[in-house]
């Protein structure tokens, strides 16, 4: 193998429209790939033991060493499967996806790294193997992953997903805009997932289970809204989901402030997206001009970054 060879892999960010957290408990969910924020990985050969360059994790690893552990597990799993356990490589990861913001960065790192390693060694990689490899690292990063992040960061179309069942492509008919806003606060998906698990086994567990079931029902209603172009219905479902996620204690003040700001500015609905307790929120707008006004109001209310996502169209930062 020539020493100048380069392996390349990429992954999209993801946005969960409906069903975060409840998807862990086999309830329906809907998510879309988010190509406005991507991860790119390159792999080259070197003479020293493998080194990883991933600057965007700096500052996070003291609090979340599992992010690096999960990345190392991805690399080790791939090299073993590729029959190259002792390969000496330089693995460089460049990310536009802010880490731990509910945009699927840990799954995207694993997807892009796996693709780059398979590309480097000229091996075909099917979707089932990719998802199985990413699941190993997501278990380290997030404890009990549903598989939704792995699916969405490796896809290019929206999916309806129930853990353990085949994923179903959404026949997207909705024409509307999503505004995505980053609180700038690191969310901790692992902690949020664990806190819901603890609630479900508490004395009040049946009450929390009811909320999880309702979240699933709202996601399956959301599919109908997306497949029959009913933005007002989708907006209402999103806001209901935010209320339930707040009751499950995975929102926070910054997310609630941005959700209220978006609704006051005329959004059809708004909610946190992903693990919560920081990270990102999304708001639904009927048209581009409303979306721009909502994005401006969110930035004035403290959002660190906003993106516009045209359902059935392009994405702009």
74 or 146: CB nearest ligand MEV: 146
272 or 311: CB nearest ligand MEV: 272
Residue nearest to ligand MEV (CB): 146
| CB of 275 vs ligand MEV, minimal distance in Å | 4
| CB of 29 vs ligand MEV, minimal distance in Å | 7
Distance from C-alpha of 271 to C-alpha of 275, rounded to nearest angstrom: 12
| CB of 219 vs ligand MEV, minimal distance in Å | 11
Distances (CA, A) of 4 to 9, 40, 44, 92, 171: 17, 18, 7, 15, 43
23 or 303: CB nearest ligand MEV: 23
| CB of 182 vs ligand MEV, minimal distance in Å | 14
189 or 261: CB nearest ligand MEV: 189
Which residue, among 284, 16, 297, 312, has the nearest Cα to 172 in the 3D structure? 312
| CB of 148 vs ligand MEV, minimal distance in Å | 4
Contact positions vs ligand MEV (CB under 6 A): 16, 20-21, 23-24, 102, 104, 142, 145-146, 148-149, 189, 193, 274-275
Q: Which helix (DSSP H) or strand (DSSP E) does residue 125 occupy?
A: none
List the Cα angle 111/117/118 in 5-degree steps.
Answer: 90
Q: Quickly list DSSP for 4-25.
A: T-EEEEEEEEEEEEE-TTGGGG
- CA trace torsion 53, 58, 60, 65 (10° rounding): 40
7 or 13: CB nearest ligand MEV: 13
Q: Is the separation of the CB atoms in 50 and 75 below 8 Å?
A: yes
| CB of 146 vs ligand MEV, minimal distance in Å | 3
111 or 148: CB nearest ligand MEV: 148
Q: Where are the alpha helices (DSSP H) in 172-252?
A: 189-200, 205-227, 231-247
């Amino acid at each position: 193998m020539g020493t100048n060879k380069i392996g390349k892999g990429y992954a999209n960010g993801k946005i969960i429209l409906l069903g975060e957290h409840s998807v862990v408990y086999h309830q329906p969910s809907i998510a879309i790939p988010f190509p406005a924020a991507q991860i790119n990985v390159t792999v080259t050969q070197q003479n020293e033991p493998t080194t990883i360059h991933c600057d965007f994790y700096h500052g996070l690893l003291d609090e979340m060493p599992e992010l690096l552990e999960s990345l190392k597990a991805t690399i080790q799993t791939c090299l073993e499967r590729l029959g190259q356990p002792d390969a000496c490589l330089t693995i460089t990861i460049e990310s536009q996806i802010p880490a731990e913001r509910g945009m699927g960065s840990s799954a995207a790192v694993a997807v892009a790294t796996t693709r780059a390693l398979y590309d480097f060694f000229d091996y075909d990689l099917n979707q089932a193997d990719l998802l199985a490899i990413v699941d190993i690292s997501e278990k380290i990063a997030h404890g009990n992953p549903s598989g939704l992040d792995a699916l969405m960061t490796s896809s290019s179309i929206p999916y309806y997903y129930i853990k353990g069942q085949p994923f179903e492509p959404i026949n997207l008919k909705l024409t509307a805009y999503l505004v995505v806003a980053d609180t700038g606060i690191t969310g901790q998906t692992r902690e949020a997932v664990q806190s819901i698990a603890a609630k479900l086994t508490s004395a009040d567990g049946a009450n929390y289970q009811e909320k999880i079931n309702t979240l699933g029902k709202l996601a399956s209603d959301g599919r109908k809204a997306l497949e029959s172009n009913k933005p007002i219905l989708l907006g209402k479902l999103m806001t209901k989901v935010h209320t339930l996620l707040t009751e499950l204690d995975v929102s926070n003040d910054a997310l609630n402030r941005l959700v209220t700001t978006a609704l006051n500015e005329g959004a059809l609905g708004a909610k946190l997206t992903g693990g919560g307790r920081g990270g990102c929120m999304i708001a639904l707008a009927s048209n581009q001009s409303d979306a721009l006004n909502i994005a401006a109001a969110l930035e004035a209310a403290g959002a660190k970054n906003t993106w516009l996502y045209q359902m059935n169209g392009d994405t702009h930062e």
